[in-house]
Amino acid sequence: MGDSFSKKENFKKKVQKQKEKAQRREERKTNNNKGKELDDMLVYVDEYGRLTSTPPTHREEVDLKEIQLGAAPILEEETQKSGIVTFMSEKGYGFITENETKENIFFHQNNCTEPVKKGNRVSFEKEKSVKGFSAINIQIIK
């Protein structure tokens, strides 16, 4: 008795898969990368980040001393600042507007070497406190 239709179709599919597999094997053999020279395998990156087969035309020299490794160093800022007392409360605290940054800095009269009033030009040192910066060692500039 003869084979059924589905058996014939499955056999045809199996033969077709074997042919495709043999064809892929032949393509791999002809297109393999073995035996190529080093120059054929190298890829370069141009200044825009694209991959290219041509080497770069110009090289920019880099001074190795200018390369910074790690985090940027923290620059020491000037400890003695100057400003104007812009607010003074009867309770003993006030604010100094710093000349350079125009930032308001809190101060208390206990940190003053002499009594200050609103509008006085003063020199002081900045100190990091819990609520921000505060001024200490406040002296009137004459």
Residue 81 pLDDT exceeds 70: yes
| Mean pLDDT of all residues in 10-16 | 95
Dist. CA 134–CA 96, nearest whole Å: 9
Residue 104 pLDDT exceeds 90: yes
| Mean pLDDT of all residues in 111-121 | 91
Work out the number of other CB atoms within 10 angstroms of the CB of residue 127. 14
Choose one of 40, 55, 70: the last residue of a domain.
55
In a domain, 70, yes or no: no
| Mean pLDDT of all residues in 102-107 | 93
Dist. CA 134–CA 16, nearest whole Å: 85
Cβ neighbours of residue 105 closer than 8 Å, sequence gap 6 or more: 83, 95, 96, 97, 98, 124, 126, 133, 134, 135
In a domain, 63, yes or no: no
In a domain, 74, yes or no: no
Residue 33: predicted pLDDT: 67
Tokens at 20, concatenated: 């495709």
pTM over 0.85: no
Total domain count, the chain: 2
- Output the domain CATH number for residue 118: 2.40.50.140
In a domain, 60, yes or no: no
Cβ neighbours of residue 116 closer than 8 Å, sequence gap 6 or more: 85, 88, 94, 109, 122, 138, 140
Choose one of 55, 71, 100: the last residue of a domain.
55
Q: Higher model confidence: residue 20 or residue 129?
A: 20
Residues of the domain holding 23: 1-55
Does 34 share its domain with 85? no
Lowest mean pLDDT: which of 10-14, 71-75, 124-128? 71-75
Does 122 share its domain with 84? yes
In a domain, 68, yes or no: no
